[in-house]
Structure 1
Amino acid sequence: MIKKLKAGYIYMKDWPLEDYLNPVFAENRVKKSMNFANKAIPPLLFLTIIWSLFIGGYFKGVPFIYALSLNLEATLACLFVLCIIPIQGLYWFYRRSVTPLNEKQQVFYRTLCKKLDHTFTLMPTMRDLEVEINYGLKKLPKDFLKEL
């Protein structure tokens, strides 16, 4: 599972945020959502713990352990849900990276490989397409993405 999450992270990190790719692929939207979640989740975790202590009466003089134990199940459930969101996103990126290309994407992949003088695989995946798009963005003008 750790290898899958790491592969998903690499795919997310390498995916280009190009405007031409927005209507065709969901990766841009999910990558932006993951970046937002990485910034928003740590404060939400902190606020969840503080809120649990507040509801338990810690700020009114109730001992810490007792205040925390009053809402422990709900607090742990909230913390679990908040912590699982980035893991779910990384797993989504992994699943997406091993997804085979459809026919139209395969045609684009093969023409891009021919333009870049690369050999193409017979059963390309989204990861293969991402690698070629990144290489094409370095070597070709961005207009080649309009063919998608």
Structure 2
Amino acid sequence: MRTLKRGQRYLESWPMQAKLGSIFPENRVIRAVRFAQKAMPAVAVLTVVWQQITLPSSQMALAAAVLTALFALSIPLQGLWWLGKRSAQPLPDSTQQAYQKIVKQLAAHTQYQAVSQPTFMDLAQCLKKADKYLSADFWDTL
């Protein structure tokens, strides 16, 4: 459960900037998770209801419909799990250098402090602050 909660926090922390979409997979995963959180409950219900309308007395069809519904409901959880795992991973060296550069720019405007061993969650929080406090030109320099 901690990993899923961490994934939800990471989803909420990550800034959805177009420039980041070409560098990190988070933009695509977050869009897919948000869509799945909205659509998959309806897909699950429609699967079971459709089965009851078309084959009301078939137990095998009901079992298949319930399994399909459970799979549909698990899709957003799979995305949150991936995001939770990703948020705890340490940054690669090249990304860590970019993180340090962003922190230096932020330090001029805020009291933001760098983390010694940054993770992707630290990067997301740093980028969110940069989006808030730095000019729009900042995204062009990445």
TM-score by length of 2: 0.88
RMSD: 1.5
1:1-148 aligned within 5 A = 2-56=1-55, 58=56, 67=57, 69-117=59-107, 118-148=112-142
Q: Which has the higher contact order (CA 8 A, sep 6+)?
A: 2
TM-score by length of 1: 0.85
Gaps of 5+ in 1: 59-66
**What is the number of equivalent residue pairs in this alignment?**
138
Q: Which has the larger radius of gyration?
A: 1
Q: Which moved more, 1:34-43 or 1:122-131?
A: 34-43
Give the letter aligned to residue 39 of structure 1. Answer: K
Residues of 2 paired with 1:71 and 1:12: CA distance?
36
Query: What is the deviation of 1:137?
Result: 0.9
Contact 1:41/1:82, CA 8 A, preserved across alignment: yes
Contact 2:48/2:62, CA 8 A, preserved across alignment: no
The structure 1 segments of at least 4 consecutive aligned residues displaced by more than 4 Å after TM superposition are: none
Contact 1:108/1:147, CA 8 A, preserved across alignment: no
Give the letter aligned to residue 50 of structure 1. Answer: V
Residues of 2 paired with 1:80 and 1:147: CA distance?
44
Give the letter aligned to residue 119 of structure 2. Answer: T
Give the letter aligned to residue 93 of structure 1. Answer: L
Gaps of 5+ in 2: none
Q: Deviations over 1:74-132 (max 9, x none)?
A: 12210111111011010011011011111111111111111222321221100001111
SS at match of 1:120: coil
Residues of 2 paired with 1:80 and 1:129: CA distance?
34
